[in-house]
């Protein structure tokens, strides 16, 4: 069976080329053709020896993911749906901004964490993506955008289109660690996409042992899905908290900063009406974070979907929450919602997942803990546990 070269970072490709009797510089040339130029046809790789091209033609392929659909938002956001086999499909989102282009990449078909407010989690989990399936999302998007923009401008090659990669698509990246790290290394490699460690972000719901491993193996920017100021509430919003509670998570974040490319951790906080958005919650968050971890807060407007039973916090309450944090000196931003008209905004990615995890039963149990009616009735002291 032919080997898909998208499965390899440069070291892996070097090892593969060695099995063909080729030296490292040939692997570098090949890596550049694939990732810098987006070429999949070995015959087009003109500076490779014909003998190597023949070996590659008989033993390897550069195989991206089959594209199912493309949707373009009114704000320019693009969502691609890719077929990953066996009835599963994953979504990738490109977000254009004035000073950069950001790609939101998926790491799993579905997600096993089951966060209450996440559409992906409500679909359950099928399997991890391979390294090549993760890398293929960037490979496709970068070169698709280059070709499209060059054609639109009527010019030759255009500059790099994607400056920022965030592992914030479908799945929990750190639960697919062995496939994730080679993909990250390809993104960072100067012979590949040449992205800065500051411009590649792994978002996690808090897999503490893997945060420590990432610190040693490939420290990129880290974003942590916090969403609550105490264990009682976070247990119900982010079930992984029952295994790795907040105190352990914050200790891991503090250790991560020793080698992180940024001098802060980003904490993401999805604003849920009547659940975690009161001034009391904001003050509890201050008591939790101040003096423990250098951080900034990213408040995320909840993107509702029917199965969640949750509602978006009113804008005025989000601003009041942010003001409490800002007045105490914590850098706090409110994420601008992008692509919600094509279900491409944060928490909306769902794709198609052949669930193996009985997710509907788990979500039903969560709805009993945080009932639908309660979200419209104000804070829930029985689970929030945050004193005024």
54-110 pLDDT tens trace: 999 999 999 999 999 999 998 899 999 999 999 999 999 999 998 899 999 999 999
- Out of 61, 93, 111, a domain closes at 61
| Judgement on whether residues 34 and 144 belong to the same structural domain of the protein | no
Where is average pLDDT lowest: 151-160, 168-177, 374-383?
A: 374-383
| Judgement on whether residues 367 and 270 belong to the same structural domain of the protein | yes
What is the pLDDT of the chain when averaged over all its residues?
Answer: 89
C-alpha torsion sign, points 212, 359, 268, 383:
negative
pLDDT tens-digit series, residues 129-158: 999 999 999 999 999 999 988 777 677 677
| Mean pLDDT for the stretch of residues 221-228 | 98
For the chain, the 3-state helix, strand and coil shares in percent, each to the nearest 5, are 45, 20, 40
| Judgement on whether residues 50 and 108 belong to the same structural domain of the protein | no
| Judgement on whether residues 359 and 345 belong to the same structural domain of the protein | yes
Enclosing domain of residue 31: 3-61
**Residue 261 — pLDDT band, cuts 50, 70, 90?**
very high
- Out of 18, 39, 61, a domain closes at 61
pLDDT of residue 355 exceeding 80, the answer is no
Q: Please enumerate in sequence order all residues whose Cβ is within 8 A of that of 214, keeping only pairs 6 or more positions apart, or say none.
A: 174, 177, 181, 202, 220, 222, 256
| pTM score, whole prediction | 0.89
pLDDT of residue 349 exceeding 90, the answer is no
| Judgement on whether residues 121 and 218 belong to the same structural domain of the protein | yes
Residue in 17, 22, 91, 133 annotated catalytic = 91
Quote the pLDDT of residue 367. Answer: 56
| Judgement on whether residues 52 and 199 belong to the same structural domain of the protein | no
| Judgement on whether residues 143 and 275 belong to the same structural domain of the protein | yes
C-alpha torsion sign, points 45, 47, 48, 54:
positive
Give the chain's radius of gyration (CA, Å). 22
Residue in 17, 111, 118, 346 annotated catalytic = 346
The domain total for the chain is 2
pLDDT tens-digit series, residues 281-307: 999 999 999 999 999 999 999 988 887
| Judgement on whether residues 190 and 44 belong to the same structural domain of the protein | no
Pick the residue with more confidence: 236 or 342? 236
- Phi–psi pair at 240, nearest 5 degrees: -60, -20
Quote the pLDDT of residue 23. Answer: 96
| Judgement on whether residues 176 and 53 belong to the same structural domain of the protein | no
Which of 35, 47, 294, 3 lies closest to 143, judged by CA?
Answer: 35
| Judgement on whether residues 89 and 29 belong to the same structural domain of the protein | no
238 contacts 222 by C-beta, under 8 angstroms:
no
- Out of 61, 79, 97, a domain closes at 61
> Domain containing 17 — which CATH number?
1.10.150.530
Quote the pLDDT of residue 209. Answer: 98
| Judgement on whether residues 101 and 45 belong to the same structural domain of the protein | no
Query: Catalytic site residue 253?
Result: no
Query: Catalytic site residue 91?
Result: yes
> Domain containing 145 — which CATH number?
3.20.20.70
**Residue 48 — pLDDT band, cuts 50, 70, 90?**
very high
Question: What is the Cα–Cα distance from 89 to 98, expressed in whole angstroms?
Answer: 30
| Judgement on whether residues 23 and 155 belong to the same structural domain of the protein | no
């Amino acid at each position: 069976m032919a080997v898909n070269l998208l499965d390899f970072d440069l070291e892996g490709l070097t090892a593969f080329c060695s099995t063909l009797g080729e030296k490292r510089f040939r692997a570098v040339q090949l890596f550049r053709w694939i990732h810098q130029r987006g070429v999949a046809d070995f015959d087009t790789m003109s500076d490779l020896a014909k003998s190597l091209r023949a070996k590659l033609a008989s033993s390897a392929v550069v195989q991206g993911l089959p594209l199912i659909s493309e949707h373009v938002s009114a704000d320019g956001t693009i969502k691609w749906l890719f077929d990953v086999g066996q009835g599963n499909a994953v979504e990738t989102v490109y977000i254009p901004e004035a000073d950069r282009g950001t790609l939101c990449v998926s790491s799993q078909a579905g997600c096993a964490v089951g966060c209450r407010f996440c559409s992906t989690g409500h679909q359950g989990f099928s399997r991890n993506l391979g390294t090549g399936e993760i890398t293929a999302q960037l490979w496709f998007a970068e070169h698709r955008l280059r070709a499209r923009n060059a054609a639109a401008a009527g010019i030759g090659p255009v500059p790099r289109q994607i400056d920022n990669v965030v592992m914030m698509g479908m799945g929990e990246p750190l639960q697919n660690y062995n496939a994730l790290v080679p993909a990250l290394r390809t993104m960072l490699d100067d012979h590949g996409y040449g992205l800065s460690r500051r411009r590649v972000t792994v978002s996690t719901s808090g897999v503490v042992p893997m945060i420590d491993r990432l610190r040693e193996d490939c420290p990129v920017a880290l974003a942590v899905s916090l969403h609550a100021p105490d264990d009682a509430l976070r247990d119900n919003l982010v079930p992984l908290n029952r295994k790795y509670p907040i105190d352990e998570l914050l200790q891991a974040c503090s250790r991560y900063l020793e080698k992180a490319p940024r001098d802060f951790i980003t904490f993401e906080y999805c604003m849920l009406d009547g659940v975690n958005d009161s001034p009391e919650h904001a003050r509890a968050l201050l008591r939790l974070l101040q003096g423990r971890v250098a951080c900034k807060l990213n408040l995320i407007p909840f993107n509702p979907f029917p199965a969640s039973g949750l509602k978006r916090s009113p804008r005025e309450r989000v601003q009041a929450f942010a003001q409490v944090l800002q007045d105490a000196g914590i850098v706090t931003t409110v994420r601008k919602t992008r692509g919600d008209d094509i279900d491409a905004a944060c928490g909306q990615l769902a794709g198609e997942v052949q669930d193996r995890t009985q997710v509907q039963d788990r979500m039903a149990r969560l709805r009993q803990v945080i009932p639908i009616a309660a979200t419209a009735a104000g804070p829930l002291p029985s689970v929030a546990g945050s004193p005024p």
